[in-house]
A and B are shown apart, each in its own frame.
Chain A
């Protein structure tokens, strides 16, 4: 009897031990927490690049897609004969320099989709402004000149605090608040144009802003901003739930009315 029990125990423990050993023998990859970055105004380009590289290869999980050549464009090596990301970033979008392009690519990934690849799944709201800027600096360093400075982060931080206008283009949180009542600036700041087209340009993920006043009343637009999940705009049922429901909290009443008035007038 005891021999049978011993055999069973050995089989059970041996099986458990085998699985533990196999799982310990393969490459060990942990998911680190993105480090909270604090930079002073006189931060050096080298510090930013080092922090960005750490984030890129670690907690940012960028290498899960970039570098395989199938899920996303290569950044650290040549892509489509255009060189590394630092070499090609300044010419990707007309009117945007390298720094602005890289920063906007991360905060508005839907706006800059590289041909042949799906939209980047990077979630900007999961990262702080300092982390985004350090990534920009690292990517610039891959064949280009690093132009990110402490001022960029200071402007972004001020914008988030509401103490000054944000850096252009805005960085960091998609709901970074400012005091402006200029509807166009607010649409830009709140990343509305990441999904809604205006002036004939932009992604068609939400209702087009060029003629929205003809299709929706001011009341409907206001309700759509404050409680976007309550009802889908005609033809956009599939996108229900995508738009953040936070604008009632992040916009002041004056700002909200500025946007509503602006959009309602576009017929």
Chain B
């Protein structure tokens, strides 16, 4: 439409007459109330959605390894991943329907407003969901039929297509929720929804950061749930064959989860930065306002993840011949991780009343306050990431004997890269205390780049060093102590709980706004509750989700049992060094 003065004035007058965001009407829900009902529906839907979006990503990668590496074990693993997916799909749709009906009946004003802006994308969403569902059916049920030659490649393409549909569905849904967080600046309370430009609302300030963050987090989450599934099957296995298979599957799930977790903080940093760019008040509310304690809980949870993930690897080295030579290092890695968690979980600038300030002797604790600043925390988390990467590296090398002539030199170069990266991280961590905040924030980029460069450089070298490596002996799959499997359960529960906590953070920073500074929440539940209350709701969501997942997996296993009992020998997991190196693509 041409922008003439008369046209613009007419447009403005029409907008004023149509008026606008009226006070939303609310429905009611019996105890515990509308807010908790929507909260639980949204969170459980999100848990399932994250699982069914994350698993196809590594299922298709596993299938590719099977095809191009000519290794049928990976193909069977991919199919088993997809079987878990299939039975979880309907639960995702059911909880999506519960969420939609909940919004329509309990928050009709908000729903109406969003629908008037996003209606076209809602129809596209439904269409994509349809395609996604039927692509999944073809992908799973066609597995055995399209098993060889070109048909297999076509089948693999279906897996890729499944990921394309799923990602597009997620991107659309993300636009709705991120619009609530960061509506474009031109949208104000008086703006009629019809006057909001669709693309401006769709591709809002936090849309792409959330897309990136969720894609990675879905992989982490999917890996963790698959790991827990494998752990359960390991613990209840009747035969060594089954135990070996599920030990391997649990290892792969954990590798995927922890591997993706390592890069997740960088996506989180991107999201946080965009939130600050969009609205500093929102950023300060998130990091330094009433939510400041939430990040201490987050640090505690991520500390558990790092410790449990590394513990699983260290215990797993017990079943790898040749790993004994690396075992003495684990206690030092444990020391670094524990110190890292302690520093990361140190509070600093909290909202405090006068009594609390008096008790502390100031706004910061005289000693711990020094550790609570971002310089120390960034340093701690980067060193924890380096340490975890070192665990993976040692695990990968455990049963290999190098044959290349320059192996010793290569290992020394790797060591130098590690030391250099740690030195850069430490240098900027200490230097950060002597510069202004804005300069200090920039330092975290250098720290991250140093760690990423080290990971890339060391992996590249390792692939070259291990070329043609001999084996110290077969990995004894299935010979894992049961306690290692409980670490996988703790990982899955912690990832799930952490997702719930971050969901509360993302939604809670809107405070008493349905749509930030555009549509006010005038319901009786407008105030954002404290962490203790939120924790109870999150825990209920986690219990509901894990309960349903347990039931779904159990139902799935009923049909699968005869297959397992007739598993052929060629479906056993690999027992040589190929497996340990597989996740890094070697």
Chain A residues close to B by CB (< 8 Å):
1, 4-5, 7-8, 11-13, 15-17, 19-20, 22-24, 26-34, 57, 59, 61, 63-65, 67-71, 118, 121-123, 125-126, 219, 222-223, 226-230, 241-246, 248-250, 253, 256
Judged by a CB distance under 8 angstroms, whether B186 is at the interface is yes
How distant is A19 from chain B, measured CB to nearest CB, in Å?
5
* Contact B184 A241, beta carbon cutoff 8 Å: yes
Residue from A26, A64, A249 within 8 A of B531 (CB atoms): A26
Q: Which of B6-14, B211-219, B444-452, B565-573 lies at the binding interface? A: B6-14
Is there a chain A Cβ closer than 8 Å to B137's Cβ? no
**Total residue contacts A-B, CB cutoff 8 A:** 172
Question: Do the beta carbons of A11 and B8 come within 8 Å of each other?
Answer: no
Q: Is B186 a contact partner of A28 (Cβ separation < 8 A)?
A: no
The distance in angstroms between the C-alpha atoms of A29 and B297, with both chains bound, is 14
Interchain residue pairs with CB less than 8 A apart (19) = A16-B542, A17-B539, A20-B536, A24-B532, A26-B296, A26-B531, A28-B533, A29-B292, A30-B290, A30-B529, A31-B511, A33-B526, A61-B284, A68-B349, A68-B363, A69-B363, A223-B5, A223-B8, A226-B8
- CB-CB < 8 A to B11: which residues of A? 248
Q: Which of B49-57, B318-326, B485-493 contacts A (4 or more CB under 8 A)?
A: B485-493
- Chain B residues numbered 226-261 whose CB sits less than 8 Å from any CB in chain A: 232, 235-236
> Is the Cβ of B289 less than 8 Å from the Cβ of A61?
yes
Q: Which 3 A-B pairs have the closest CB atoms?
A: A248-B12, A23-B535, A24-B532
> B484 interface residue, CB < 8 Å from A?
no
- Which of B517-569 touch A at CB < 8 Å? 517, 521, 526-536, 538-539, 542-543, 546
Contact B280 A12 (CB under 8 A): no
Contact B290 A246 (CB under 8 A): no
Given contacts A4-B235, A23-B531, A121-B280, contact A249 B185 (CB under 8 A): no
Instruction: Given the known inter-chain contacts A29-B351, A61-B285, A241-B186, please indicate yes or no for A23 contacting B297, CB distance below 8 A.
Output: yes
When distances are taken between beta carbons in the complex, the residues of chain A under 8 Å from B542 are 16
Which of B186, B289, B490, B533 sits near A64, CB closer than 8 Å?
B289
> How distant is B369 from chain A, measured CB to nearest CB, in Å?
11
Q: What's the nearest-Cβ distance from chain B to residue A147, in Å? A: 26
Q: Is B281 an interface residue, CB under 8 A from the partner?
A: yes
Q: Within the complex, which residue of B9, B284, B356 is in contact with A226, where a contact is CB–CB below 8 Å?
A: B9
Say yes or no for B70: interface residue by CB 8 A criterion.
no
Given the known interface contacts A61-B289, A65-B284, the answer about A30 and B530 at a Cβ–Cβ threshold of 8 Å is yes
Residues of chain B with a CB closer than 8 A to A34's CB: 512
B1-24 vs A, Cβ < 8 Å mask (1 yes, 0 no): 001010011011101100000000
Docked Cα-Cα span, A241 to B497, in Å, equals 37
B190 adjacent to chain A (CB < 8 Å): yes
B140 sits at the interface (CB 8 A): no
B61 at interface by CB-CB < 8 Å = no
B437 cross-chain contacts in A, Cβ below 8 A: 70
Q: Of B13, B349, B532, which is in contact with the most chain A CB atoms at under 10 Å from its CB?
A: B532
Residues of B within 8 A of A1 (CB): 236
B188 within 8 A of A: yes
Q: How far is the CA of A243 from the CA of B188 in the complex (A)?
A: 11
Give the distance in Å from the alpha carbon of A11 to the alpha carbon of B191 in the complex. Answer: 51
| B494 within 8 A of partner (CB) | yes
Partner of B527 from the list A24, A32, A65 (CB cut-off 8 Å) is A32
Please give, as numbers and ranges, the residues of chain B lying within 8 Å of A222 by CB-CB distance: 5
Give the docked Cα–Cα distance between A226 and B494 (Å): 51
Besides A219-B5, A222-B5, 7 other CB < 8 A contacts?
Answer: A8-B232, A20-B538, A29-B293, A30-B290, A31-B285, A65-B284, A245-B191
Residue contact B493 to A15, C-beta cutoff 8 Å: yes
Contact of B279 among A13, A19, A32, A121 (CB under 8 A): A121
Q: How far is the CA of A236 from the CA of B326 in the complex (A)?
A: 59
User: Contacts A15-B490, A63-B351: A244 and B527 contacting too (C-beta < 8 A)?
Assistant: no
Q: Are B3 and A8 in contact (CB under 8 A)?
A: no
In the bound complex, CA of A154 to CA of B526 (Å): 28
**How many Å lie between the Cα of A228 and that of B186 in the bound state?**
9
Q: In the bound complex, how far is the Cα of B151 from the Cα of A154, in angstroms? A: 78
Given A23-B532, A226-B8: A12 and B493 within 8 A (CB)? yes
Assess the B288–A12 pair: CB atoms within 8 A. no
Residues of B within 8 A of A24 (CB): 531-532, 535-536
Given A26-B531, A31-B508, A226-B5, CB of A64 within 8 Å of CB of B284? yes
In the complex, A123 Cα to B50 Cα: how many Å?
35
In whole angstroms, how far apart are the Cα atoms of A122 and B279 in the complex? 10
Q: Is the CB of B356 within 8 A of A31?
A: no
Question: Which single member of B16, B280, B356, B527 contacts A27 (CB below 8 Å)?
Answer: B356
The interface residues of chain B lying within 8 Å CB-to-CB of A228 are 186
**How many whole Å from A24's CB to the nearest CB in chain B?**
4
A11-B5 in contact (CB<8A): no
A16 close to B539 (CB less than 8 A): yes
B535–A20 contact, CB under 8 A?
yes
* Bound CA–CA A164/B341 (angstroms): 60
Of B8, B350, B517, most A-chain CB atoms within 10 Å: B8
Chain B residue nearest to A248 in the complex (CB): B12
In the complex, are the beta carbons of A226 and B493 less than 8 A apart? no
Most B CB atoms within 10 A — which of A17, A23, A26? A23
Which B residues between 473 and 506 are near A, CB-CB below 8 angstroms?
Answer: 486, 489-490, 493-494, 497, 501
The answer to whether B535 and A19 touch across the interface, beta carbons within 8 angstroms, is yes
Cα A57 to Cα B354 in complex, Å, equals: 10
Of all chain A residues, the one with the shortest Cβ separation from B526 is A33
CB distance A123 to B350 under 8 Å?
no
| Contact between chains at B517 and A125 (CB < 8 Å) | yes
Question: Which residues of chain B come closer than 8 Å to A223, judged between CB atoms?
Answer: 3, 5, 8
Contact status A245-B186, CB under 8 Å: yes
Residues of A within 8 A of B5 (CB): 219, 222-223, 226
CB atoms of B531 and A20 under 8 A apart: no
- B190 close to A249 (CB less than 8 A): yes
Separation of A187 and B128 alpha carbons in the complex (Å): 49
Chain B residues within an 8 Å CB radius of A245: 186, 188, 191
CB distance B532 to A31 under 8 Å? no
Are B284 and A71 within 8 A (Cβ)?
Answer: yes
Q: Kindly state whether residue B353 has any CB partner on chain A within 8 Å.
A: yes
Q: How far is the CB of B76 from chain A (nearest CB, A)?
A: 25
Q: Please provide the chain B residues from 179 to 205 with a CB less than 8 Å away from any CB of chain A in the complex.
A: 184-186, 188, 190-191, 200
Give the docked Cα–Cα distance between A23 and B497 (Å).
Answer: 12
Point out the residue from A17, A28, A253 that lies within 8 Å of B9, measured CB to CB.
A253
Chain A's closest residue to B353 (CB) is A57
Most buried by B among A19, A20, A34: A19
Report the Cα distance A242→B350, complex, angstroms.
31
Q: Which one of A4, A8, A28 lies within 8 Å of B532 (CB-CB)?
A: A28
Assuming the contacts A4-B235, A12-B493, A30-B527, asked whether A123 and B517 have C-beta atoms less than 8 A apart, the reply is: yes
Taking a contact as CB atoms closer than 8 A, the residue among B188, B280, B493 that contacts A244 in the complex is B188
* A1 to B235 alpha-carbon distance, docked (Å): 9
The answer to whether B508 and A65 have CB atoms under 8 Å apart is no
Q: State A57–B357 Cα separation when bound (angstroms).
A: 14
In the complex where A19-B497, A226-B9 touch, is A31 in contact with B186 (Cβ < 8 A)?
no
